[in-house]
Structure 1
Amino acid sequence: MLKELKAFLFKGNVLDLAVAVIVGAAFSAIVTSLVKDIITPIIGMIIGTPDFSGIKIGSIMVGNFINAVVNFLIVGTILFFIVQAANRVMAAGKKEEEPEAPAGPTQEELLTEIRDLLAKK
């Protein structure tokens, strides 16, 4: 049973998942700080105080929910741009490494080959 547990815990995909969770948590702190410490104050300078926590409908406080939605949209937008930039960097690296595919036969060569095959029959 201990051998099975060891085999499970040290499989590549389990270790990869553990590393991804840890890196994701650290990256989450970076993005949260970016939103709270940089983006939100900039938005505050442009449109005024970006705090909606005082908004209520009747006796229902909806301001915190609005704050959460706005933060989600900001974080989602930032992550979108980060992922796009990372994809561009990765694509640029792959383009340099991939050799060109050999050119196939031209249309004339294919037609000539078909003609020759039909002539043999």
Structure 2
Amino acid sequence: MGMISEFKEFIARGNVVDLAVGVVIGAAFGKIVTALVDGIVMPVIGYLSGGVSVSDWKYVLKPSQLDAAGKEVAAEVAVKYGMFLQTAIDFVLIAFVIFIVLKGYNKLRKPADAAPAATPEDVLLLREIRDSLKK
């Protein structure tokens, strides 16, 4: 079997195509939630925290040094935890929305409860025998 025919067989499997569709939809969905976080959630958090953008939050280890003319001689050294926090909030919101969507999807997909299975004939016969022995 040649490499091209193996590749065709690999691509033709439903799992690969489903995975590709899932990745593309997931990437687009991620962009939507990122826009929600960047455009709505983070400005509210920034407003509540005094008007500072969350992505600008940082802990300065060493401030920048300026010369007499006001030019920066050495850049500041800072831990930018705000960017991490914004990305973490983005991730949590994406995971939550995906959870809600999948929960609704699974509820729609779940088959209706099947009627209880009919009692087997041998059990019915044994019940009749039991009842007749009681009399």
Partner of 2:105: 90
Question: Identity of counterpart residues, as a percentage?
Answer: 32
- Offset, 1:6: 0.7
Figure out how many residues of one structure are paired with residues of the other and give that number.
107
Which among 46, 49, 52 is matched to residue 48 of structure 2?
46
Letter of the structure 2 residue corresponding to residue 98 of structure 1 = A
**Bigger helix fraction:** 1
Contact 2:30 2:94 in 1 (8 A): no
- Whose relative contact order is higher, 1 or 2, with alpha carbons under 8 Å and at least 6 apart? 2
Check 1:84–1:9 CA distance in 2 against 1; reply closer, same or farther (3 A cut): closer
Letter of the structure 2 residue corresponding to residue 43 of structure 1 = I
Q: Deviations over 1:23-57 (max 9, x none)?
A: 1111121121111111111111111212215x321
- Offset, 1:89: 1.7
Check 1:5–1:41 CA distance in 2 against 1; reply closer, same or farther (3 A cut): same
TM-score (norm 1): 0.68
TM-score (norm 2): 0.62
- Alignment of 1:60 onto 2:77: yes
- Offset, 1:76: 2.7
CA–CA distance in structure 2, aligned partners of residues 100 and 4 of structure 1:
42
Q: Give structure 1 stretches of 5+ with no counterpart.
A: 106-112, 117-121
CA–CA distance in structure 1, aligned partners of residues 78 and 24 of structure 2:
35
Query: Which contiguous aligned blocks of 4+ residues in structure 1 show a shift greater than 6 angstroms?
Result: none
- Offset, 1:18: 1.1
Instruction: Report the secondary structure of 1:18's partner residue.
Output: helix
Letter of the structure 1 residue corresponding to residue 60 of structure 2 = K
RMSD: 2.9
